[in-house]
Every structure is written in C-alpha cells, then in structure tokens.
Amino acid sequence: MSGANAWIAAGTGVVLCGPAAFLLAPWVLRRIPEPELDEDQPKKIPYAELATRRASLWCGVLASLAGGLLGWSLGTSPALAAWLLLAVSGSVLGYIDGRTRYLPSAIIWPSYFVVGLALIVGAAASGEWGSLRRAAIAGVIGFGVFFVLWYVFPRGVGFGDVRLSGLLSMALGWLGWGELVSGLYGGFLLGAVLGIVLTAARVFKRKDLFPFGPFMLAGALAGVLVGAPLERLYLG
C-alpha cells in the first residue's frame, strides 16, 4: 500500500470514528438498561449519570486515535469497515468498563451483528471467503478460551469479558492467526503489567474488580498493528 493510500485511510478513520463515538456515547448511555445486581455485588454508577460531555470527549478521542491507526495499518483491506465500526463501539465499551466495571451486553451483541455483517460484505466484495471462515472459527476459539477462564477464575474474568472476547477474536481472525494470538495475548500482557502498576500506585485496591475490557481492546488494536510482523518473525 502506498503512503498516500495509508494517509487517506488513516484520515478516513479519524474523521468517521471520532465524531460517531462523540455523538453515540451519551445517546447510548442514556438508553442501555442497568444490570441486575446481586445483594453481595458492589453498587455501580448508573449509566445515565455517565452521559456527560466528558464521556463524549473521551470516547471521541479514543475512537479517533483507534480509527487513524486502523486506517493506517489496514488501508484498503476489506476488513477496514468492520474495524472502524469496532473502534466506535469499543471506545464506548472501554469507557463504560473503566468507569463501572461492567461491559453491557446491550452494546456487545449488536456489535456482533454490525461487525459480522461488515465482514460478510467485505468477503462478498473481495472474494475472501477463507478469511470470513477463519473469522468465524477464531470467534468461537476466543469465546471458548475466555469462557473457560471465567468458569475457573470468575473473580478475574467477568462474563462481559467473555462476550467481548468473541467479538474481538472474530475481527482479529479475519486478519490472520498471528493477529488473533497477538491481540488476545496483548490484552493479557497489558492487563497484567498495568494492573500491577495501578495497584502499586493505589489507583485500584487488591480486592477491587479490575476493568479488563479496556486492556482487551488495546490488545486487539496492538494485534492489528504488530500481529503480522510478529508472526513472520516467529516463523522465520
């Protein structure tokens, strides 16, 4: 891909994703239902109270940054539209999880539909049906791995993380197995390293629920950017 095409794709990602997330975040926060909490679960900030200009700015900036990096990396890939949609929903999900420790299924399940539909359209337009098949298999693998982690260690992995893992794995799987492995492992690495740092800095207490979603999203973005080079390096 030429440098001009990379700049055009990056600019498109910034222009589309930033304003979309800026406008979508408060609208969604005012409308998604609150989770049903057990008596022993800690109280959370109501979603509607987060529907502020701060949320719009955070989500807009994060989506712009992610959209620009994705456009630069993917260029004219048939998967670009799916990843730009994921950048918008991911910025909102990451902000919500960071503030509330919850990943709302009311956002994740529709994201499966729109991202999956974008991948199907991309396959139909490009003829890359093998990539679509790999995406479906990767989604099942990612969901299954996180389901096992949630079942074995529910205090460390929430079921919202399980739902998100399938979505991210599906999008990563379209790009390749190297992107999938790098994206999932990158989330664990970022969560472990920064989790230790934030706990040591007393930003989080050891007994607090840890918002893993933002690290999963950042790891997926890293998988897109460096997954293929790392795979080539590993395989020689």
Q: Select the highest-mean-pLDDT range: 31-45, 163-177, 209-223.
A: 163-177
Instruction: Provide the token pair at 80.
Output: 């670009």
Q: Which of 122, 93, 116 is nearest to 24 (CA)?
A: 93
* pTM over the 0.85 mark: yes
Q: Which two tokens stand for residue 126?
A: 């490009």
| DSSP code for 40 | T
Q: Contact 54/98 with Cβ under 8 angstroms?
A: no
Say if CB 102 and CB 52 are below 8 A apart.
no
| Token reading at 234 | 């590993």
Residue 35 DSSP symbol? P
pLDDT at 203: 54
User: Poorest-confidence range of 1-5, 120-124, 167-171, 182-186?
Assistant: 1-5
The structural domains of the chain, with segments of one domain joined by +, span 3-235
SS3 153: coil
* Residue 133 CA, distance from chain mean position: 20
pLDDT tens track for 38-61: 666 667 889 999 999 999 999 999
Rounded to an integer, what distance in angstroms lies between the CA atom of residue 91 and that of residue 108? 12
Residues in contact with 39: Cβ distance below 8 Å, sequence separation at least 6, in sequence order: none
Could you read off the pLDDT of 85-122 as tens digits, one per residue? Answer: 999 999 999 999 999 989 999 999 999 999 999 999 99
Task: Of 52, 56, 101, give the one whose Cα is nearest residue 214.
Answer: 101
Q: Using one digit for the tens of pLDDT, what is the confidence trace for 203-216?
A: 555 555 678 899 99
CB neighbourhood size of 145 (10 A): 15
Reply yes or no on whether the pLDDT at 163 is more than 70: yes
Sign of the alpha-carbon torsion through 13, 18, 20, 21: positive
CA angle 234, 235, 236 (to 5 degrees): 90
Residue 151 phi, psi dihedral angles, 5° rounding: -65, -40
End-to-end CA distance of the chain: give it in Å, rounded.
23
